[in-house]
Chains A and B, each alone.
Chain A
């Protein structure tokens, strides 16, 4: 599967491209919020007014691609919860107003498939339309779904992507799951903090993928997932994955790893990295925070690296002189859900 184009809204200036001129935002606290673009030229005002954050960020990243590529045979998105604040707003309406009719806007946008539906509606796209919601593997599932659809010849070009929103509401969920750092550190020190917990980010990354190599930025070779790993599972799985794709360990030039500064689980990335010599290592959650679909940012970053863009020094975890033509992305969510993505330059 080939990637033709992408857009990314994140806690870094990625949408306007300033990220590649070295402009990196330092975040504080446990929540990293998206730098949202001016939506004036992207979303009609009457629609924008009623959109919750997850919706407008998803639409904001997706609609420019749907406008630029008139042939899109389907829309496949991943999100762990979609518009959760809309959900809670509606719950609040329910518990606070015992009488009368509630306003449906929050309810309608609370369904995780709202963004994929609205994108189809705005672009009059009647193709395959689906939303994967499998927590930390939601985005990987969208990639596999897209690869299948292209292999089946049911589609030639697709929009795939992920959306995640952070708010005080999912802050509660993640707090209850003991996700956060107890003592906040600035983003510059996140990966060296050596304490338990991490920080939460948000955003949307959208990609146009194609079965054809023409005009591609890079190739997404394969994606794999597994859950509930045992002691040596990661080592075994990465060997299996690379073997399946006829790629020896030495052929990997760079690793993009999901280090999030949580000293309970970051050892998994060390375990993987130990198997590779002389590879550059990139980290990104120190810039955008962690989220169930943070791996969509990893993919966006990997595309940018393979395209030869100027990458800010903050994402280099370990630098080598090696030219980067192939990248292995490894990520896990709370050490339960794990995934690999293999990328190549074209």
Chain B
């Protein structure tokens, strides 16, 4: 049974919709810049969405309080949903994911509480991850199967996987899946406390990488089964054919140096897709730019693909690491690679990692034969997920 991707939506530091993201990718234009919108004590490098909360609220006509995570999610979810209608014979679900949920509002509340005897307590009603999803569901009128996942940086890759399984097991006919995270002091300080936030531009897969730059945004994809597209007449953009989730079981925040979990995830996704390693045309890597991830992921790529590693790149130097949203934002980019037969460049790279000597693609390459794209997402807690898309 095929699982069709028929809608895509994205908002990130490099654009407010799919078209804008595509143009920035093509023009090698990064969205990472010194902090501008978020109230933070220093001018750190971040991938901010260039719209304030007020602008988003006015644009979307939604009630407040609402978290920035929900706002970004609604923008991308609406774009992916497009002009689709509800239909009594199409069981439609929503699976979203987030790591910070409404933390942007919660931290405003705690800041106010410190300075003000009567802080705005309504701000913290948006804290729970599930609230983010409920707001998106309401906007789109989805009331059946609604779910939220939170597995840190692999969250939305897991949403893709769960959505695919819900269709395959005939629990749903159509499912909107996505991830959303907003920039917060909480996550910035968190990654700084782990000593993996770079004060320079993120350099995925470079020997001299110094850590990650955080970003924010949301990516959504609409998945449909045969029955659903026979009714909606939607044209497939790509087919989702492989997925896997494996635990690294090595360390709570670091990846294993032998890339065990990542290797398992990639191998199992290939098996699910019934593909050989040599069938993969392009890999969109997790490539966060941390010393640990990029080495572990490189080792995993070598474990699976041996000497014949397909062209690969990380797009984190465009968007920053968008945490829970990265899996679906990058899945949207994978769809673009299949649709336009392109390979996306890895910015800021100059020197291979000495232990593995792998060289990512650094140019925007057109007229490539892209039949399949493999995309990795790895997260805290040793959560490793891989998905594989193929041409429709």
Contact = CB atoms under 8 A, between A and B. Distances in A.
Contacts of B194: 104, 107-108
A91 B137 CA distance: 29
19 contacts: A101-B192, A102-B189, A102-B193, A103-B193, A104-B190, A111-B99, A114-B380, A117-B252, A121-B382, A126-B264, A133-B128, A133-B129, A134-B129, A134-B146, A136-B130, A138-B148, A144-B171, A176-B122, A336-B134
A93 B185 CA distance: 11
A120 interface: yes
B2 interface: no
B110 A227 contact: no
A173 B124 contact: yes
A181 to B, nearest CB: 18
Interface in B97-141: 98-99, 101, 103, 106-107, 110-111, 114, 121-122, 124-125, 127-131, 133-134, 137-138
A145 B145 CA distance: 12
A96 B114 CA distance: 9
B63 to A, nearest CB: 15
Interface stretch (B230-238, B242-250, B340-348): B242-250
B138 A228 contact: yes
Nearest to B189: A94
A34 B256 CA distance: 35
Given A148-B165, A227-B137, A95 B146 contact: no
A258 interface: no
A341 interface: no
Contact of A121 (B168, B245, B252, B264): B252
B111 A176 contact: no
B169 interface: yes
Contacts of A280: none
Contacts of B380: 108, 111, 113-114, 117
Contacts of A148: 165-166, 169, 171
Contacts of B145: 225
Contacts of B193: 101-104, 107
Contact of B246 (A126, A134, A152, A225): A126
B261 A118 contact: no
Given A91-B186, A129-B245, A148-B166, A118 B41 contact: no
B189 A135 contact: no
B128 A173 contact: yes
B151 interface: yes
Interface of B: 41, 98-99, 101, 103, 106-107, 110-111, 114, 121-122, 124-125, 127-131, 133-134, 137-138, 143-152, 158, 162, 165-166, 168-169, 171, 185-186, 189-190, 192-195, 245-253, 260-261, 264, 379-383
Contacts of A344: none
Nearest to B132: A133
Nearest to B191: A107
Contact of A227 (B143, B151, B168, B185): B143
A90 interface: yes
B134 A131 contact: no
Contacts, number: 192
Interface in A73-115: 75, 80-82, 84, 87-88, 90-96, 98, 101-104, 107-108, 110-114
B245 A130 contact: yes
Contacts of B147: 132, 134, 137, 141
B146 A133 contact: no
Nearest to B111: A95
Among A75, A108, A113, max chain B CB count under 10 A is at: A113
B245 A133 contact: no
A226 interface: yes
B121 A172 contact: yes
A281 B108 CA distance: 44
Contacts of B246: 126-129
B248 A98 contact: no
A176 to B, nearest CB: 4
B130 A135 contact: yes
A113 B190 contact: no
Interface in A138-154: 138, 141, 144-145, 148-149, 151-152
A110 B187 CA distance: 11
